[in-house]
């Protein structure tokens, strides 16, 4: 149902997702993608970009608002199945790491987001105005080896001193 002849996006801008033609067909199919953290790479003038780990300060799961297309009783599995995470502008110090961030919902809002009786208009207001603020998050430099899937181990995501 996504637009044809265009690369599949990995995220959707909150400002356009509810009404933009590219996502119109999947806007009603809301989901939550639970993660522990995410990474952004920042050009700090060195030979390689510096990775930063971003997580909630309370280390609770990060509940990202998403929309998608999934196989169900009316829809056979297809090449366009999948999801996109909804993103918003960063604020505060997080903007120095990256200008966008996932729209993260508190648990009670995540339940409402997933509820099929929640009207589309209410869902739009939730992601536009009720996402968790950047003050709920912390970010810190981590080992540059984190960007290579061959590298493993907890030491990759610990705070660099």
Whether residue 39 lies inside any domain: the answer is yes
**pTM value surpassing 0.75:** yes
Contacts of 122 (CB under 8 A, 6+ apart): 112
Whether residue 73 lies inside any domain: the answer is yes
Which long-range contacts does 14-18 make (Cβ < 8 Å, 24+ apart)? 14/86, 14/87, 14/88, 14/103, 14/127, 14/128, 14/131, 15/128, 17/67, 17/86, 17/127, 18/120, 18/123, 18/124, 18/127
Whether residue 1 lies inside any domain: the answer is no
Whether residue 2 lies inside any domain: the answer is no
Of 56, 79, 20, the C-alpha closest to 133 is 56
Q: For helices 107-114 and 120-129, give the axis angle rounded to 10 degrees.
A: 150
Q: Please count the structural domains in the chain.
A: 1
pLDDT at 1: 43
Query: Domain containing 20: what range?
Result: 11-148
pLDDT at 3: 44
The CATH number assigned to the domain holding 119 equals: 3.90.1680.10
Asked if residue 51 lies in contact with residue 41, where contact means CB atoms within 8 angstroms, the answer is yes
pLDDT per 10-residue tile (average), the chain, 161 residues: 54 86 86 96 93 96 93 81 90 89 97 96 95 95 92 87 66
pLDDT at 8: 64
């Amino acid at each position: 149902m996504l637009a044809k002849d265009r690369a599949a996006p990995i995220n959707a801008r909150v400002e356009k997702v509810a009404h933009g033609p590219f996502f119109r067909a999947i806007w009603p199919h809301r989901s939550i993608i639970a993660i522990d953290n995410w990474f952004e790479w920042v050009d700090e003038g060195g030979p390689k970009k510096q990775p930063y780990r971003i997580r909630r300060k309370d280390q609770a799961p990060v509940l990202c608002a998403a929309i998608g297309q999934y196989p169900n009783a009316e829809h056979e599995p297809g090449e366009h199945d999948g999801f996109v995470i909804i993103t918003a502008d960063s604020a505060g110090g997080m903007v120095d790491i990256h200008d966008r961030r996932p729209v993260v919902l508190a648990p009670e809002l995540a339940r409402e987001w997933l509820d099929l009786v929640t009207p589309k208009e209410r869902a739009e207001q939730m992601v536009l105005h009720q996402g968790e603020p950047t003050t709920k998050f912390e970010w810190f430099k981590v080992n540059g080896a984190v960007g290579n899937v061959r590298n493993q181990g907890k030491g990759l995501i610990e705070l660099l001193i």
